[in-house]
Structure 1
Amino acid sequence: MNKRLSQFSRNQALVYKIFLFIASTLLVIYLLPKGGQFKYDFQKGKPWQYENLYAPFSFTIKKSEEALANEQAEIRKNAIPYFDFNAGSVEQSKDKFQQLLDESYVDSLYSTRKQTLLNLGNNIIDKMHLHGVTAEIHAYSQEQLVYLKKGNEVEEIPYRQIVKQDDLDEKVLELIKAGTNSENVWNYMEILLKRSMVPSVTFNQQLTESAIEAEIESLNPNRGIIEKGGRIIAKGEVVEGDTFQILNSLKDEYKSQVWSKSNLIWLLVGYAMLVSLVFLMLFLFLKKYREDIYSNNTKVTFIFFNIVLMVFLTTFIVKLDAAYVYVVPLCVLPLILKAFFDPRLGLFVHVLTLLLLGFIVPNSFEYLFLQIIAGIVTILTVSELYRRANLFISVAQITFIYIIGYFAFFIIQEGNIQTLQWETFGYFILCGLATLFAHPLIYFYEKLFGLVSDVSLLELSDTNSKLLKELSNKAPGTFHHSLNVANLSEAAANEIGANAMLVRVGALYHDIGKMQNPTYFTENQLNAVNTHNELAPKESAKIIIEHVIKGIEIARKNNLPDRIIDFIRTHHGTNLVYYFYKKEKELNGDAKIEDFMYPGPIPFSRETAILMMADSVEAASKSLKNPTSSKIDAFVEKIVNAQMDNGQFLNAHITFKEIQTIKKVLKKKLNNIYHLRVEYPE
């Protein structure tokens, strides 16, 4: 039955991996551009590496983006602006003038009759509003042609014919003097007319822009035709100028003409094969070099999720605007994988992800080169991520590498820096700033996937944390024992290249179950009274064994990560509580071995195996009387060899050589703890 369950479990894990493989492949294919890949790879400023290229079909030469931008700028520069004429403003000006005249005219002061002045004022208002009066300020020259829209009619006039606010005084006074010889009314009429004049012309932004856009849309994007069979470029010729634009035109035409709906199926088949190869390489790498990760479906899902996420983000940005492609913080991927796993896996996954992105991004060679270099720098520079300063320094170095790499590529392609796009450097800086979000992203992933990073391990290793302070208060002897085990385990892990931070934290929490009944454990007994003397051996063994179960319960209640709980579950494996087992046999002549065995499981990683060795050796070392170097050596050998004989390390993926190394570290550390010195002859 157990064999069938085990087989079902293995098959279930395999089925899930196959599902993950297919789902990830389909998602990536969906995100990839639905167009064929041009079979020639070329770059501006570099020689043509292939044989002479002849046009496979007739196609038009597209204008370069720069040429189109220049034409659009020229259209905007020469565009004729539209102005609206408001006929109602003329009547408003006349009504206002008449009102002011009625209020201020005095017969005795002026020799000219009121009606004459009214007629003169209305006549001047009509002349001023012939082409309109505007209060707006524009930078047009006086001879600039403009369209003046009066109702449904549009007339073309020079801009100088529209009266501006600054010219109003001079124009009004000129017309007044031309209309009457009575000098005593000139200033009076000037004041009235200036106060009466309501602007009648306003700039029509919407109509002007519509006209410009219509003219821009009518631009011909092509500038010539290449006939079928015509030579485009010869082998060894440098790709530049018109040739570069012709090749780009052929590339665009190739995608639109060659790749139609009829052969979309073949395109998808090709994509499926290439994407499948990438994911297959990832599975093979995990199977061969990271067996512990491969066997954990959650970790495999986490890796695939991040790859698909990066492909999605890059695709989204490229569709939005390809110029922003370097804003995507791709270096977050190796950084996060390094935080949760190891640098080698981080770099491998980073490179595989870039292979997929090569189908999406423009200038794929330049992009891949910069991103691979940046990924290598990320792996080499980001160490001890839990130190915030390290992340800032590494991000600065990554950004600097981006800038240097892009600058070098630009010089190679353009041969000068006159047209250098400085805003691209800003994109690299934004990318660096986005990379700083690795810390909150790591925290999010820890909660979502149940993983543990060095950042969390550092927080858990703080002896001032609530749980460890509770342990030190309730079971001070156990707390001291845990500190010693942590130091021993960390030293051993460093020596064999295991995760030292993880094993240290696991050691600090491995005995928290002893807080429930601390006096039943010798390290917490402050006097010679042993509470086990009043209990049957079987009862005592049960209490001792239960500290593992209670430790797991306390850990779960305090939301400790599963990787830390693994240390609590496995630190005694399936070992025997030998003292009480032997005592039971002495009292009753027989004893069931099952009643005196820890429930397990046995250690299933190098880190949990190290803890088992360090825990047993440290605890038993307290019983040594007059310890000497030779006694400690024999004592460590005896305990670790007994664990090996009991098969406690069969699932731990630890080698005999590593166990021997761990023994040496434990011996050395114990000698230091007991301050043993070489005995000199008298």
Structure 2
Amino acid sequence: MKELLNKWYKNHALVYKILLFLSTTLFIVYLFPKTGKFRFSFEKGKPWQSENLYAPFNFAIKKAQEEIESERLEVENNASVYFDLNTEVKDLVLSEYLKKFNQTFKDTLDLNTNESSLYKKGRSFVDLLYSNGILDTDYNYPNTKPVVLVSSNTIEKQLQYEDLIEIGQLRQRLDDHFSESPSADRNKIISLFFDIIKPNITLNESLTQNALEEELSQISQTRGSIDKDQLIISKGQVVEDEEYIVLNSLKSEYESQVWNTANYNWVLVAYTLLVALALLMLLLFLRKYRMEVFLNNTKVTFIFFNVVIMILLTTLVISYNSQYIYVVPLCILPLVLKAFFDARLGLFAHVLTVLLLGFIVPNSYEYMFLQIIAGIVTILTVSELYKRANLFISVGQITLIYIIAYFAFFVIQEGQVTSLKWETFGLFILCGLATLFVQPLIYIYEKVFGLVSDVSLLELSDTNTKLLKELSNKAPGTFHHSLNVANLAEASANEIGANAMLVRVGALYHDIGKMKNPTYFTENQSTGINPHDELSNRESARVIVNHVIKGIEIAKKHNLPDRVIDFIRTHHGTSMVYYFYMKEKAENEDLKLEDYSYPGPKPFSKETAILMMCDSVEAASKSLKEPTTTKINDFVESIIDKQMENGQFLNANITFKEIQSIKKVLKHKLANIYHLRIEYPE
């Protein structure tokens, strides 16, 4: 059991990567749709590229969305409107009419009221009004709109909307009906009716809506069917409207209805294999080309996390509305990975993410082409992300590439531009604006994952930071030396295409350990007193070597990033404190090399190798007496060649050609520092 635990502990980093790989794979597969994917691609108005297609099973032909919408509109226009009819209102109005009529005309009529012609005319008008009914308000339905009158859940009458009387029509109907009556009687009877008339019809909204929904539900989503083995389309045949509808029906049926439990499980297995294969390629890339990233579980987790976030956002948008697919700022992925790592890793992860999304997005080829091109443009254009203007310029270029590529695809598919969907361009602009969120996102990632980007490096390069201020106060000579090394290292990094900002920051902080015992280093000895005169050679060597250990302790105390601490660890590699070693060797030949050697490790990147060269050359250049161009050239060659002979650059991915370029830069810079003129031949 103990051996098993020890074995697990020794391989815990690998175990973690395996668990991360499996969990990421399963989560991505969980996000994917669990259906098969139609294996044929086709476009309306384009020839069918595959072999003759026969129906693999019986399926119904689905109506086009426009056809369904047309039928829905027709049903809505012809659907009946249900009104509640109050049959008691008419009796109440007649009773009120008799009462009001007797009160109004009792002095002017000689005959019995019931036999009065005016009364009978009014009585017939009431019958006319309530023959169909009076609406409680104007509903603005078309005159031909079917109407159903309902009383006590019983249909009383079916008619058209124009057969009902609106309140606004009452005055006109009164004038027409009593047009032949004497003027005085007409005004009185009209006034009487305005007092007694009451509406008896009100809209029944719930019944109307239920009836409409029932009729809409009866609309068929299909028209006709295709039998198994029936020829759907021949090779080379143009996909016209009818063929396009049939093919879409087959695709929809294939992806949604033909999958039983066994099919579902096979699809799940297939998705898992493909996703696992893509993520495995990412891990293998890290292991082969970015070993320092592969060995750091935090960085591997960070890369996988960003890939998953992009897939999650895209699947959420697709589930909501696939038309907004281009709003997802997928180019944030290469931007972030380039900011923390490098362009090659950023592009590789971006391409793999786009390939995975090709399973679930509509028009997958168009989507993948646009996103890969945009990712390439992102990598090519974005440099020095800490400069705000650069980010805005790059986002503008990315948006422009999106628009140009989409326009080209649309013209290829449609053959014209009149029906161009301009709103899609708006989606690309929104995508560009969302991409600007990468700046605060980088800051959040730095805090959560403990990483460092060029933005943080820019802040650390400020010589007014607390730590560099302390260095300048306690060890002014070391501070001046660090500034000179930073300038040399930055110029060298720019020459060979290394990270100039990173190497500059590393140079500024590489000697902070000298703050503990500043007077033990010659650049800080302004009084002429050398404390090493009171120490043995071994003790002096230990003091010199310990400035690396002290520097690491100070850096960790001030929360400097690991990328910066790496420069403190490696700027002397495993070299020797040669002066005290040779001094002791002259007196005592029985020496231990480790007592006079730095603990290492050796430089393991271009940037750390550059710092070792520049630090050694700048420090040793102070010993040059009456420097000339020839002396400087030989001096630089001698120091760097010695470091190469000692194998200090074996772990760094730096070439001989790049080292020669760095030598050239150092020679030129030192010549400028010592104000040397070019030696012209006599």
Change (3 A) 1:126 1:647: farther
Higher mean displacement: 485-494 or 181-190: 181-190
Shift of the alpha carbon at 1:62? 1.1
Shift of the alpha carbon at 1:485? 0.9
What is the letter of the counterpart of residue 631 of structure 2? K
Tell me, yes or no, if the aligned pair for 2:52 and 2:231 is still in contact at 8 Å: yes
Change (3 A) 1:151 1:465: farther
> Which residue is equivalent to 1:326?
326
Residue 421 of structure 2 is aligned to residue 454 of structure 1: no
> Which residue is equivalent to 1:144?
145
Tell me, yes or no, if the aligned pair for 1:176 and 1:189 is still in contact at 8 Å: no
Three-state SS of the structure 1 residue aligned to 2:563 is helix
What is the letter of the counterpart of residue 427 of structure 1? L
Shift of the alpha carbon at 1:316? 2.0
Tell me, yes or no, if the aligned pair for 2:78 and 2:145 is still in contact at 8 Å: no
Question: Residues 377-397 of structure 1: CA distance to partner in whole angstroms, max 9, x if unpaired?
Answer: 222222322222222222223
> Which residue is equivalent to 2:376?
376
1:613 and 1:527 map into 2 onto residues whose CA distance is 29
Higher mean displacement: 598-607 or 416-425: 416-425
Change (3 A) 1:301 1:180: farther
What is the letter of the counterpart of residue 386 of structure 1? Y
Shift of the alpha carbon at 1:513? 3.2
What is the letter of the counterpart of residue 320 of structure 2? L
1:464 and 1:171 map into 2 onto residues whose CA distance is 93
Tell me, yes or no, if the aligned pair for 1:62 and 1:223 is still in contact at 8 Å: yes
- Relative to the length of structure 2, the TM-score reads 0.85
Q: How does 1:256-267 map to 2 (within 5 A)?
A: 256-267=256-267
Question: Residues 165-193 of structure 1: CA distance to partner in whole angstroms, max 9, x if unpaired?
Answer: 64455457778989997559649947974
> Which residue is equivalent to 1:159?
161
Question: Residues 624-678 of structure 1: CA distance to partner in whole angstroms, max 9, x if unpaired?
Answer: 2222222222322333334334443333233344333322322222112111123
Change (3 A) 1:161 1:460: farther
> Which residue is equivalent to 1:285?
285
> Which residue is equivalent to 1:298?
298
Change (3 A) 1:594 1:288: closer
Q: How does 1:104-503 map to 2 (within 5 A)?
A: 131-135=133-137, 138=140, 140-148=141-149, 150=151, 152-153=153-154, 155-164=157-166, 166-167=168-169, 169-170=171-172, 182-183=184-185, 186=188, 189=191, 193=195, 207-503=207-503
Tell me, yes or no, if the aligned pair for 1:173 and 1:186 is still in contact at 8 Å: no
Change (3 A) 1:84 1:622: farther
Shift of the alpha carbon at 1:92? 12
Shift of the alpha carbon at 1:348? 2.2
Q: How does 1:505-544 map to 2 (within 5 A)?
A: 505-533=505-533, 540-544=540-544
What is the letter of the counterpart of residue 145 of structure 1? P
1:61 and 1:172 map into 2 onto residues whose CA distance is 58
Shift of the alpha carbon at 1:618? 1.1
1:497 and 1:462 map into 2 onto residues whose CA distance is 22
Shift of the alpha carbon at 1:421? 3.5
1:440 and 1:127 map into 2 onto residues whose CA distance is 76
1:370 and 1:681 map into 2 onto residues whose CA distance is 60
What is the letter of the counterpart of residue 218 of structure 2? S
1:384 and 1:466 map into 2 onto residues whose CA distance is 25
What is the letter of the counterpart of residue 478 of structure 2? T
2:337 and 2:35 map into 1 onto residues whose CA distance is 32
Higher mean displacement: 494-503 or 264-273: 264-273
- How many residues matched? 670
Question: Residues 252-271 of structure 1: CA distance to partner in whole angstroms, max 9, x if unpaired?
Answer: 22234543212333323322
2:625 and 2:386 map into 1 onto residues whose CA distance is 42
Tell me, yes or no, if the aligned pair for 2:138 and 2:168 is still in contact at 8 Å: no
2:91 and 2:521 map into 1 onto residues whose CA distance is 105
Tell me, yes or no, if the aligned pair for 1:136 and 1:202 is still in contact at 8 Å: no
The Cα RMSD (Å) is: 4.2
Tell me, yes or no, if the aligned pair for 1:124 and 1:176 is still in contact at 8 Å: no
1:310 and 1:49 map into 2 onto residues whose CA distance is 33
- Relative to the length of structure 1, the TM-score reads 0.85
Shift of the alpha carbon at 1:350? 1.8
Higher mean displacement: 340-349 or 437-446: 340-349
2:438 and 2:96 map into 1 onto residues whose CA distance is 69
Tell me, yes or no, if the aligned pair for 2:134 and 2:198 is still in contact at 8 Å: no
Shift of the alpha carbon at 1:231? 1.2
> Which residue is equivalent to 1:41?
41
Change (3 A) 1:216 1:188: closer
Tell me, yes or no, if the aligned pair for 1:177 and 1:186 is still in contact at 8 Å: no
1:6 and 1:676 map into 2 onto residues whose CA distance is 62
Higher mean displacement: 437-446 or 272-281: 272-281
Question: Residues 39-61 of structure 1: CA distance to partner in whole angstroms, max 9, x if unpaired?
Answer: 22222222111221222222211
Higher mean displacement: 268-277 or 28-37: 268-277
1:244 and 1:411 map into 2 onto residues whose CA distance is 19
> Which residue is equivalent to 1:665?
665
What is the letter of the counterpart of residue 448 of structure 1? V
> Which residue is equivalent to 1:54?
54
Tell me, yes or no, if the aligned pair for 2:134 and 2:167 is still in contact at 8 Å: no
Shift of the alpha carbon at 1:530? 4.0
Shift of the alpha carbon at 1:85? 6.5
> Which residue is equivalent to 1:636?
636
Higher mean displacement: 481-490 or 172-181: 172-181
> Which residue is equivalent to 1:652?
652
1:60 and 1:274 map into 2 onto residues whose CA distance is 32
Tell me, yes or no, if the aligned pair for 1:173 and 1:190 is still in contact at 8 Å: no
Tell me, yes or no, if the aligned pair for 1:45 and 1:238 is still in contact at 8 Å: yes
Shift of the alpha carbon at 1:360? 0.7
> Which residue is equivalent to 2:603?
603
Unmatched 5+ stretches in structure 2: none
Three-state SS of the structure 2 residue aligned to 1:602 is coil
Higher mean displacement: 359-368 or 372-381: 372-381
Tell me, yes or no, if the aligned pair for 2:548 and 2:568 is still in contact at 8 Å: yes
What is the letter of the counterpart of residue 456 of structure 1? S
Three-state SS of the structure 2 residue aligned to 1:232 is strand
Question: Residues 219-268 of structure 1: CA distance to partner in whole angstroms, max 9, x if unpaired?
Answer: 21111111222211111111221111111212222234543212333323
1:473 and 1:35 map into 2 onto residues whose CA distance is 68
Unmatched 5+ stretches in structure 1: none
